[in-house]
């Protein structure tokens, strides 16, 4: 049996585009004399559709698309993902489903059993778990068809009571096929591979795994679809962050006809546990994920041009370089906005960066605007000493200038805040926290430096002085980030333990960190939730990003 694995980038709610893309892939598969073509989870409507699935019209359009696609499933079978209505009154109204199309008919529908409701997932809000489990018989083979999380319920502490494959094994399947929308993070590709391999080792069956690719607002899907033979040898691995296909030949004896990319391990399969923060971990993947996140956000929203406040610091430099790579240098405008507190080398560094990248830039001094603010507020400030109020005036002035230019010329403002700043509240609402998309908001400061080094791997794009100088907001004379924050190499390790690893204060202190410093940092994180709650979407690259995947109260007293 020849099976085509089709890894595609879908657009949520764009039924015409998604349907066209699927049909074109089916036509191509027919020219290869394929018996079956497999698409990813929720391929019809895009994933995650979230509350769109509450609209009957949205679900109707899903079925209409399936009706169009099934006409092309004549002498080839097609597996696509879409919501399916639940005819039973009790329970949720929908299933997360995989439709098996053949002979221009819906021959079978498999429903998802394990509905993730954690981090960025909220499936039990919308879907009912499967009621029954049956293999699909096709051309002499029995297919165990599952959806994403259904193969993740392994290990000593399973999250769900029912494991679909345990039930399906009683029907003696020949092959496992899993359609998925598994998001990227910089630890997940190894975890994912380990889980899939663990399924193969447990059930002694080949597994064909089709994952989605593309960015949906903050969530990046990296593809990296996989095929393992029954002996747990990796036979196919599609690339990350781009569309592609694989031709899989499933022999009568259950073997996969392919060269082995990666042989099976002889010992037990263990998932990657990044207990300790490693800023350089998979930094090339983080780079590529952010590029895809920017590119898809603009393309799918029909935006074309970006604007960035370029300060001569590391964060704006990395953001600008990534944006130019994603959108084209001619489509990214940098605005340098020096004040009396800006150092001359910062302006020169920012200018040199834009010259290296070749993007357009302008210099707008904020001194006159700032001076006018201070003059008009002088009667009310009552000669009180310079404070954060004056600092924030500068930041909000810059935010206003950027948004004015964005509104006038149709730019989207890209935010340059990093995760260390967002975690500790080291930023100004409506100032440097303004923007339509947070580019590096899921990268700690030390990761931003690693990204800068990666961007410069072939030649110096980001001026060396930007990378080597002490970071500063330059909102007062001789200011440095270390005046307000611990050194980043310590701060980021503590933040990682609290945010990504969900460790409490005593657990973090037991790792050797200073007790007073841990208490101070955790208090800063919790006190500044109100700022993050007003922040723009952040491209997710970590196991726990700020945004929809991390939900904590604003008004609370825990660790404050």
312 marked ligand binding residue: yes
Copy the structure tokens of residue 43.
Answer: 């391929």
180 is an annotated ligand-binding site residue: no
Six token digits for residue 413: 């403002």
Pairing of strands 332-336, 361-363: parallel
Distance CA 147, CA 152 (A): 10
217 DSSP 8-state letter: T
Annotated catalytic residue within 21, 41, 61, 445? 41
112 annotated active-site = yes
Of all helices (H) and strands (E), which one includes residue 205?
Answer: none
179 assigned to a ligand binding site: no
Q: Cβ(81)–Cβ(97) under 8 Å? A: yes
Token look-up 């440097």 returns 432
- Residue 118 annotated as binding site: yes
314 is in an annotated binding site: yes
Beta bridge partners of 333: 307
Residue 85 tokens, joined: 């209505």
Token couple for 290: 């952010």
**Tokens standing for residue 428:** 């100004």
The contacts found for 453-461 with CB under 8 angstroms, 24 or more apart, are 454/283, 454/284, 454/287, 455/287, 455/318, 455/321, 455/322, 460/356, 461/321, 461/353, 461/356, 461/357
Q: Tell me if 251 is assigned to a ligand binding site.
A: no
Say if residue 481 carries a ligand binding annotation: no
Query: Does 421 carry a binding-site annotation?
Result: yes
- Residue 416, annotated as binding a ligand: yes
143 phi and psi angles, rounded to 5 deg? -100, 125
Residue-by-residue DSSP string for 245-256: EEEEEB-TTS-B
The stretches of 340-468 forming alpha helices (DSSP H) are: 344-357, 367-381, 388-409, 419-424, 445-455, 464-468
Which 3-state string (H, E, C) describes 318-338?
Answer: HHHHHHHHHHCHHHEEEEECC
Question: Does 549 appear as a known binding residue?
Answer: no
Q: Flag whether 340 is marked binding.
A: no
Catalytic residue among 62, 148, 163, 443: 148
Instruction: Answer whether 339's CB lies under 8 Å from 398's CB.
Output: no
Residue 417 annotated as binding site: no
Phi, psi for residue 390 in degrees, rounded to 5: -70, -35
Question: What tokens appear for 513 in the block?
Answer: 């960190």
Residue 148 a catalytic site member: yes
41 is catalytic: yes
Q: Is 313 flagged in the annotation as binding?
A: yes
Q: Which of 21, 61, 70, 112 is catalytic?
A: 112
Handedness of CA 146, 149, 154, 156 (dihedral sign): negative
**Pairing state of beta strands 136-138 and 141-147?**
antiparallel
Identify which of 124, 146, 123 has the alpha carbon closest to the alpha carbon of residue 134: 146
316 known member of a binding site: yes
- Coil, strand or helix at 304: coil
Enumerate the known binding-site residues for deamido-NAD(+): 392, 421, 531
Enumerate the known binding-site residues: 118, 182, 309-316, 392, 416, 421, 531
Enumerate the known binding-site residues for ATP: 309-316, 416
Enumerate the known binding-site residues for L-glutamine: 118, 182
Q: Give the residue numbers annotated as catalytic, written as ranges.
A: 41, 112, 148
């Amino acid at each position: 049996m020849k099976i085509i694995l089709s890894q595609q980038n879908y657009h949520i709610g764009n039924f015409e585009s998604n349907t066209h893309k699927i049909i074109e892939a089916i036509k191509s598969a027919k020219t290869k004399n394929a018996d079956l073509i497999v698409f990813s989870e929720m391929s019809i409507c895009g994933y995650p559709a979230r509350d769109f699935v509450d609209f009957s019209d949205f679900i109707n359009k899903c079925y209409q698309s399936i009706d169009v696609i099934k006409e092309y499933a004549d002498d080839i079978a097609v597996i696509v993902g879409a919501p399916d209505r639940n005819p039973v009154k009790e329970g949720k109204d929908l299933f997360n489903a995989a439709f098996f199309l053949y002979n221009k008919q819906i021959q079978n529908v498999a429903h998802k059993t394990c509905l993730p409701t954690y981090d960025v997932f909220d499936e039990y809000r919308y879907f009912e778990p499967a009621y029954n489990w049956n293999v699909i018989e096709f051309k002499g083979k029995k297919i165990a068809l599952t959806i994403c999380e259904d193969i993740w319920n392994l290990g000593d502490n399973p999250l769900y009571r029912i494991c679909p494959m345990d039930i399906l094994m009683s029907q003696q399947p020949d092959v496992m096929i899993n359609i998925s929308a598994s998001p990227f993070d910089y630890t997940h590709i190894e975890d994912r591979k380990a889980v899939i391999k663990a399924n193969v080792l447990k059930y002694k069956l080949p597994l064909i795994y089709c994952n989605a690719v593309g960015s949906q607002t903050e969530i990046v899907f990296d593809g990296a679809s996989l095929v393992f033979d029954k002996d747990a040898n990796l036979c196919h691995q599609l690339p990350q962050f781009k569309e592609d296909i694989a031709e899989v030949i499933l022999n009568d004896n259950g073997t996969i006809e392919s060269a082995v990319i990666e042989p099976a391990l002889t010992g037990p399969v263990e998932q990657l546990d990044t207990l300790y923060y490693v800023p350089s971990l998979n930094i090339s993947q983080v780079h590529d994920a952010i590029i895809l996140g920017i590119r898809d956000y603009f393309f799918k929203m029909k935006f074309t041009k970006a604007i960035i406040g370029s300060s001569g610091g590391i964060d704006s430099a990395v953001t600008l370089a990534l944006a130019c790579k994603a959108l084209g240098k001619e489509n990214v405008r940098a605005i340098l906005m020096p004040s009396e507190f800006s150092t001359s080398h910062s302006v020169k560094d920012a200018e040199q960066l834009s010259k290296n990248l070749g993007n357009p830039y302008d210099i707008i001094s904020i001194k006159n605007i700032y001076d006018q603010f201070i003059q008009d507020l002088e009667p009310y400030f009552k000669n009180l000493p310079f404070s954060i109020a004056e600092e924030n005036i500068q930041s909000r002035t810059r935010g206003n200038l950027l948004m004015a230019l964005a509104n006038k010329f149709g730019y989207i403002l890209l935010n340059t805040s990093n995760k260390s700043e967002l975690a500790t509240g080291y930023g100004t609402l409506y100032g440097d926290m303004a923007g339509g998309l947070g580019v590096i908001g899921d990268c700690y400061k030390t990761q931003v430096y690693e990204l800068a080094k990666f961007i410069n791997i072939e030649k110096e794009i980001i001026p060396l002085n930007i990378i080597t100088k002490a970071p500063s907001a330059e909102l007062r004379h001789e200011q440095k980030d270390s005046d307000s924050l611990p050194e980043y190499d310590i701060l980021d390790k503590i933040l990682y333990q609290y945010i990504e690893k969900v460790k409490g204060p005593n657990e973090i202190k037991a790792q050797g960190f200073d007790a007073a410093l841990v208490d101070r940092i955790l208090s800063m994180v919790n006190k500044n939730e109100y700022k993050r709650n007003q922040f723009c979407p952040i491209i997710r690259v970590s196991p726990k990003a700020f945004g929809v995947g991390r939900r904590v109260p604003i008004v609370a007293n825990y660790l404050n």
